Amino acid sequence: MPDNNEIKEFDIFDVEDGELLKIILDSINDAICVVDENCITRYWNNAAEKLYNIGKDKILGRHIKEFFPNSLLPKIIKERKSYDNIYNNPREGCYNVISASPLYMNGRLVGGISLDRDATEFIKTSELLMKAQSNLNVLEHEMSIINKNRYSFSQILGNNRAFRDSIRLARDISRSNINVLITGESGTGKELFARAIHMESGREGYFVPINCSAIPHELIESELFGYTAGAFTGALKTGKIGKIELAHNGTLFLDEIGDMPLSMQPKILRVLENGEMTRIGSEKTIKTNIRIITATNKNLSEMVEAGLFRKDLYYRLNSVVINLPPLRERKDDIPLLVNRFIEDYCMEYGINILGITPEVLDSFVNHSWEGNIRELKNAVERIVVLARNSNTGVIDSSFLPQSLGGIRKTISAAKQDSIYDLNTILENAEREALINVMRISGGNKAHGAKLLNIPRSTLYFKLKKHNLEK
């Protein structure tokens, strides 16, 4: 049995031409690490030495977790699953993107390999660009917000049959100019579908969204049609381009169309019928080539019967109706969505992929989700943030908010009794308060103790008591 100083770097490096292979790997700019099936480090190239400032003589023959407690390699060996392009922040001021895969020889798992790409300079450059962008004018800023996050159908998750039917219909009509009405409860992804339709359509112009319920009725006309200089008191001296004009050769998305004022509906109808519009304060007619996609969580046909929505506009808008089912009717999709959101937020917050216990997943599946996907996404982000602050690799029931923890279908009699126990209630309330305060204070215990109005020593004791110490 060789000692640590005589550890060989893998059988492949002992065969003929193995020295050449080592030279090739050492010439690669990305950090390469190879471990065996027991996570003992067997290869560490020159780029890895330079990136992490750890010499081969120190790390070879040692367990990878001795140097990197959050290493992805033990996870890929255990799961026998590859991970690609995972954002990582292994130490302060250092950023990289890591890919890792299990290694097989003659069908047998023999270890794992990781490739780390230093992204520090890229991240720092991106931060400088973000600061520089704050100096851009108002219109450029608005356009960057309007046109960011363009999604395609391939990024819409769901295997539920009714949901897949909606995706199929949306994809089929994307390349036509037909108007589309998307219906569904709040948070079901109506804007996501509208953006995907626009992306699939191949239109050269922008995707321009406007929420009809978020704009005061007296301002919605100027937002849609724009205005000329001096058109009314308070108007910009240069005038302003409207959303319809901005969407030329693109797509105008009218969200919450059911809240559009009746007085505005004939003007929208004119745009639909002949593609013409006029800015406020101008006599010049502007031709526009736009496709209109609308969305609502209301029953427009009932609003038409009640005289709250124009019948002719309704029949113009609903050439194709795409209905999105609520999340409670897509329970088979919840595990898929939860795991994707966990991966996304782990990337966003710079931590390794977290596991999730079956108990937590059951809680997600059994919840009613009145806020649909938006509520689910917010809940997952909260849990990931708490898990990061607790330095854990597994999301268990201790991270669930009360709204989720209380909806499990199977609760033992002892547990049912305990939820009325005053000591239990106080303990849970104290733990929630500690979690919230430490999040608000950014982990600063002196600030946290001040917010809680307790001595710092008491805060240390309570954090340890609730297993919240970092």
DSSP annotation of 176 reads S
DSSP annotation of 147 reads T
Question: DSSP string spanning 177-243?
Answer: ---EEEE--TTS-HHHHHHHHHHHHT-SS-EEEEETTTS-HHHHHHHHHEE-TTSSTT--TT-EE-H
Q: Say how far residue 268 (Cα) sits from the centre of its chain.
A: 34
- Asked if residues 109 and 80 have their Cβ atoms less than 8 Å apart, the reply is yes
- Asked if residues 219 and 231 have their Cβ atoms less than 8 Å apart, the reply is no
Q: Which of 429, 446, 434 lies closest to 390 in space, CA to CA?
A: 434
Question: DSSP string spanning 212-227?
Answer: TTTS-HHHHHHHHHEE
Sign of CA dihedral 344, 252, 200, 158: positive
SS (H, E, C) 341-405: HHHHHHHHHCCCCCEECHHHHHHHHHCCCCCHHHHHHHHHHHHHHHHHHCCCCEECHHHCCHHHH
Measure Cα distances from 96 to 67, 294, 433 in Å: 16, 41, 34
Long-range contact pairs involving 442-447 (C-beta distance under 8 Å, separation at least 24): 443/389, 443/470
DSSP annotation of 164 reads H
Which class would CATH give 332-465? Answer: mainly alpha
To the question of domain 4-119 being in CATH 3.30.450.20, the answer is yes
- Which pLDDT does position 412 carry in this prediction? 45
Question: If one looks up domain 138-323 in CATH, what number appears?
Answer: 3.40.50.300
CA atoms within 13 A on the CB side of 192: 16
DSSP annotation of 3 reads -
Segments making up each domain of the chain, as ranges: 4-119, 138-323, 332-465
Give the list of residues 6+ apart from residue 32 with CB closer than 8 angstroms, or none: 25, 43, 44, 45, 47, 48, 113, 114, 115, 116
In which order are the strands placed within the sheet that holds 251-255? 207-211, 251-255, 291-296, 180-183, 320-323
- Which pLDDT does position 127 carry in this prediction? 58
Q: Quote the pTM value.
A: 0.56
Which residues are 412's β-sheet partners? none
Q: How many CB atoms lie within 10 A of CB 174?
A: 19
Helix (H, G, I), strand (E, B) or coil at 81: coil
| Placement of tokens 């704009």 in the chain | 215
Which residues are 120's β-sheet partners? none
How do the pLDDT tens digits run along the chain, 470 residues long? Answer: 445 545 444 454 454 556 777 788 888 888 999 999 999 999 999 989 988 889 999 999 999 988 888 788 999 999 999 988 887 766 566 677 888 999 998 889 999 999 988 876 676 666 566 655 554 444 554 444 444 444 678 888 889 999 999 999 999 999 999 999 999 999 999 999 999 999 888 888 889 999 998 888 888 888 898 888 766 666 666 778 889 989 999 999 999 999 999 989 999 999 988 888 888 888 888 898 999 999 999 999 999 999 999 999 999 999 999 999 999 999 999 999 999 998 888 888 888 877 888 888 888 998 889 999 999 999 898 888 888 777 777 888 888 887 776 444 444 444 445 555 666 777 778 888 888 888 777 778 888 888 888 887 778 778 877 777 75
